[in-house]
Structure 1
Amino acid sequence: MNCPICSKWQDDPDQRVVELKHTLVSLNRDQFFAGYCFVYTRNHVTELFHLSEQVRNGVMAEVTAVAQALHSVFSPDKINYELLGNMAPHMHWHIVPRRSKDPLWPRPQWSEPHQEVVLKPEEYRERAALIKAQLKNILG
């Protein structure tokens, strides 16, 4: 299987945030929306109903904790959550901190093209460390 989400953790080491019980968390390469993260299941699965209730609840608790951490670190006006999987059929959420002053507000983040913001490797690592530290506070 050639799944870009299954290999994301290995392919993008500078963008890694944290390994949680049910999910992995990575920064999106494009940081136009500061803090934009992916939360993806450790195992290749495509649908929520493929998970047991216990695992599904655990996954959703981790998605929620990541959103809370992003809110604490970046102070956005709103957090956007996207779970599509049409292009990459592996369960993954786009967790996107949004500001009412961003040029695409209030439209979805991919409603029109924008100039990508690509950070230096050390900037990804610094941003990831801030999010990871906040997640540790939230999850204990």
Structure 2
Amino acid sequence: MNCPMCTRWQDQPQLRIAEFEHCYAMLNGDQFFPGYTLLFTKRHVTELFHLQPAVRQAVMEEVSRMAAALASVYNPAKMNYELLGNMVPHMHWHLVPRQTTDPLWPRPIWSEPHEDCLLSDDRYVQAIRSIRAALGLID
């Protein structure tokens, strides 16, 4: 199996935010929407119903914890949660703090193509540190 999500944690260490019991959280390289984060299961699984109830509940708590930290840092008008898996069939959430001032508000983030917004290494580090602090993680 050639799943890009299965190797993402190893492939992009500079974007790592946190390792939880069941999931990894990483800042998305494209920061067109500031704070855009991916949270994905450590184990390759495609559907929520494939998880045992206790694990499913724990995963949803990790999603909620990550979203709360992003909300604390970015103070969005709305947090978007996307769990699709059509193109990458590995359970992963796109957690996107949305602002009423963003160019695509209130439409979905994929409603129009846009150029990737890549940050300097220092800005990625600053964003990740802020999110980790909101999670209560000490560097």
> What TM-score do you get using the length of structure 2 for normalisation?
0.95
Runs of 4+ residues deviating >2 angstroms: none
Select between 108-117 and 79-88 the one with higher mean Cα deviation.
Answer: 108-117
Count of residue pairs brought into register by the alignment: 137
Corresponding residue for residue 40 of structure 1: 40
CA distance in 2, matches of 1:95, 1:37: 5
| 1:49 positional shift | 0.7
Corresponding residue for residue 77 of structure 1: 77
Pair 1:63 & 2:60 matched? no
Q: Would you say the 8 A contact 1:14–1:122 is kept in 2?
A: no
Structure 1 gaps of 5+ residues are: none
Select between 106-115 and 120-129 the one with higher mean Cα deviation.
Answer: 120-129
Q: Deviations over 1:87-118 (max 9, x none)?
A: 00000000000011111011000100122210
> What TM-score do you get using the length of structure 1 for normalisation?
0.94
Corresponding residue for residue 15 of structure 2: 15
RMSD across aligned C-alpha pairs, in angstroms? 1.0
| 1:126 positional shift | 1.8
Corresponding residue for residue 104 of structure 1: 104
Q: Equivalent residue of 1:6, what SS?
A: helix
Corresponding residue for residue 6 of structure 1: 6
Structure 1 counterpart of 2:43, one-letter code: N
Q: Equivalent residue of 1:5, what SS?
A: helix
Structure 2 counterpart of 1:47, one-letter code: E
Identity, % of aligned positions: 55
Structure 2 counterpart of 1:53, one-letter code: P
